[in-house]
Structure 1
Amino acid sequence: MRQAENLQAAKERLASFSAKWESSYKRRIKNLVQMEELFTFFSFPTAIRQTIYSTNLIESFNKSLKKMVRRKEQFPKEGALDRFIMTQVMEYNDKFEYRAHRGFKDCHDTLDSMF
């Protein structure tokens, strides 16, 4: 579905997928078909759809954050862990503040008008 050219094509792919698997996974397919937010990324420009659809950036950051926390080993209080994580998040934001992810630079004006 995410590789479909437009919303209508994606809905057609979902319909064919559900027709194929509905007999085996009736309840799951029913829930999947009812999820309108499944197609939310089609309201964004084509250049950034794959980036929005994927969670690779988030997973990568979470993995590096876990590695940093493990290295630290222990925190005297829960607040210390919160401050450490917040510091790491702020450093990450500073590091990538001026970096435009693939496709976002091309549709910057469109995104500005959307938000």
Structure 2
Amino acid sequence: MSNISKQMIPKVEAYHKRKLSDKFFCVYLDTTYIPLRRETFEREAVYIAIGIKPNGHKEVIDYCIAPSENIEVWTALLQT
């Protein structure tokens, strides 16, 4: 594991666990596939929830990465 990865893991974990302080007027859910290099170089699904605040500003509420799109991943993302 690289030094950059070691430094980023605690920050990413804190981001996923943070409290949402604002209210959102609307929430968009989307998935896109991007190439990720792990053991192989394959495209994986990036799930993202974006909230729009009453003032119009957008905020990434949460995200996760999975091999493919399915309801179980969406359910887990929305319950966290």
Q: Compute the TM-score of the two structures, normalised by the length of structure 2.
A: 0.25
Task: Name the structure where helix makes up a greater proportion of residues.
Answer: 1
By percentage of residues, which structure has more strand? 2
| Higher RCO, Cα 8 Å, sep 6+ | 1
